[in-house]
């Protein structure tokens, strides 16, 4: 099975990602939620990505001398089409025998809403 992007949304861009216009297209941050499910099937899980411009890192130095960057997408400059293309490409490449396997691969790049959730229906009984 393969992942499929259903929808992109951002609470940081209430009018939609297409109308989001940062003051500086190379210095911005935007939290994007992607609804992704199994291609050809109903349903989707949410994966969050922090989308930033390359100058954002330089203008927001980490206070402790380093920063982890898991779940980030770094763009050359703001372009909602590039965000969509990047996530669609990720979905196209995320395959597996089960949705859990596919979602686990996707969660290496975006924060999966069920990441580390032992209450998933497929999680082993830990009690």
In a domain, 119, yes or no: no
Confidence at residue 126, expressed as pLDDT on a 0 to 100 scale: 36
What is the total count of domains within the chain?
A: 1
- How does pLDDT run across 65-104, given as a tens digit for each residue? 888 889 999 999 999 999 999 999 999 999 999 999 999 9
What is the overall mean pLDDT for the chain?
91
* Structural domain harbouring 17: 3-112
pTM of this structure: 0.88
Confidence at residue 117, expressed as pLDDT on a 0 to 100 scale: 65
Report, as an integer, the average pLDDT of 44-53.
97
SS (H, E, C) 40-99: CCCCCEEEEEEEECHHHHHHCCCCCCCCCCCCEEECCCCCHHHHHHHHHHHHHHCECCCH
In a domain, 120, yes or no: no
Q: pLDDT grade, residue 42 (50/70/90)?
A: very high
In a domain, 22, yes or no: yes
């Amino acid at each position: 099975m393969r992942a499929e992007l259903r929808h992109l949304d951002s609470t940081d861009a209430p009018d939609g990602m297409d109308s989001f216009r940062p003051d500086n297209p190379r210095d911005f941050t935007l939290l994007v939620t992607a609804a992704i499910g199994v291609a050809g099937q109903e349903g989707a899980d949410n994966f969050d990505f922090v989308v930033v411009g390359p100058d954002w890192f330089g203008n927001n130095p980490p206070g402790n001398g380093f920063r982890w960057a898991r779940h980030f997408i770094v763009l050359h400059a703001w372009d909602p089409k590039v965000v969509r293309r990047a996530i669609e490409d990720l979905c196209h490449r995320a395959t597996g025998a089960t949705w859990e396997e596919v979602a686990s691969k996707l969660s290496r790049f975006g924060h999966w809403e069920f990441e580390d959730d032992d209450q998933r229906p497929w999680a082993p009984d830990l009690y």
